[in-house]
Amino acid sequence: MKVRKAVVPAAGFGTRFLPVTRSVPKVLLPILDTPSVHYIVQEAALAGIVEIIMVISEGQEAISRYFRRMPKLENALRKRGQTELLQRMEAIPDMATIRYVHQMQPLGLGHAVSTARDIVGDEPFAVFLPDDLIWSEKPTIGSMIEVFERVGASVIAVREVPREQVSSLGVIDPEPAGDRLYRIRRMVEKPKPEDAPSNLGIVGRYVLTPQVFDELARGRPGAIGEIQLTDALDAVARSQGAYAYRFPGMHFDVGVPAGLLKASAHVAMQRKDVAPSVREWLRDLAEGRPSR
């Protein structure tokens, strides 16, 4: 069955980004000039996903405004002859159909995903965590969908991380199963470094079978008292089997200020209009010279 839908959990207070997240949802914070959630929807659309279920909380309506048409702005750009910018703005609402569901209580990532159950229905689906941005030649989720179609079981993105980072991630117990691929024996959320089954940490891209909703419905709180997606997937891995995909490309954790800054610098370096001045400025900064 084709993967046509994706769930994007975007609720949450964004406490690491206070004070700005008092009024701006975390997923709208810019990487240079484009919010992380834009990159997420773009990655999904490039992989053939047509419907996004965005899980939001009260006060985050600005997310839906971002993906709506803006006739006044578009007219103004048209009048000014800013055709290229106009085309880019017109393309945003066309990337995918986005539906919004509200997570009423912050009960954890697993709970957020389960709120999309009725809209996803009985078909495989993708999950994107907007804190994780990946730059690679091919959209990571597209490669994972190809793996999913080949192995016929859930596929989870992983990357090698330093041991000291495992306690903030989900970690898998891997059995090599091919190029960049592992069969998952079990997985654990936020283990102590000494208890971690490997240094392969979960990154926020998943292609899942709908069975995970049954596991989530059991609603057992796990690490840090929250309903964890990792726990439900551990049960899926043990019963149906599941695979991990060690994706190529560059990963940024934009869920923390330093990661957002690094991602912005990375994007700035790709941009002809920005790169020359930023490159020089960064070099000066790194060498302790007064900035210009």
Token code pair at residue 44: 């999904």
When binding is defined by CB under 6 A, the residue of 31, 125, 148, 189 that contacts ligand G1P is 189
Q: Indicate the residue whose CB is closest to ligand G1P.
A: 170
**Least distance (Å) from ligand G1P to the CB of residue 171?**
8
Give percent helix, percent strand, percent coil of the chain, each to the nearest 5: 40, 25, 35
Token code pair at residue 252: 């940024």
Burial class of residue 116 in the structure, from the number of CB atoms within 10 Å of its CB (0-12 exposed, 13-18 middle, 19+ buried): buried
**Least distance (Å) from ligand G1P to the CB of residue 189?**
5
**Residue 234 interacts with ligand G1P (CB under 6 A)?**
no
Token code pair at residue 53: 């279920």
Binding-residue total with ligand G1P (CB under 6 A): 14
> Which 124-153 residues touch ligand G1P, going by CB under 6 A?
129, 131-132
Helices (H) and strands (E) in the chain, counts: 11, 13
**Residue at 211: amino acid letter:** Q
> Which 191-220 residues touch ligand G1P, going by CB under 6 A?
201-204
- Alpha helices, DSSP H, located in the chain: 36-46, 62-66, 71-79, 83-91, 109-114, 117-120, 140-151, 211-217, 229-239, 257-270, 275-286
**Residue 14 interacts with ligand G1P (CB under 6 A)?**
no
Cα dihedral 112, 113, 117, 122, rounded to 10, equals 180
> Which 63-122 residues touch ligand G1P, going by CB under 6 A?
109
Closer residue to ligand G1P, CB minimum distance, 126 or 203: 203
**Residue 170 interacts with ligand G1P (CB under 6 A)?**
yes
Closer residue to ligand G1P, CB minimum distance, 41 or 244: 244
- Give the residue from 29, 13, 229 showing the smallest Cα distance to 110: 229
**Least distance (Å) from ligand G1P to the CB of residue 287?**
33
Which residue stretch of 26-34, 91-99, 144-152, 228-236 sits at the interface with ligand G1P (rule: CB under 6 A)?
A: 228-236
**Residue 222 interacts with ligand G1P (CB under 6 A)?**
no
Residues binding ligand G1P (CB under 6 A)? 109, 129, 131-132, 169-170, 189, 201-204, 228-230
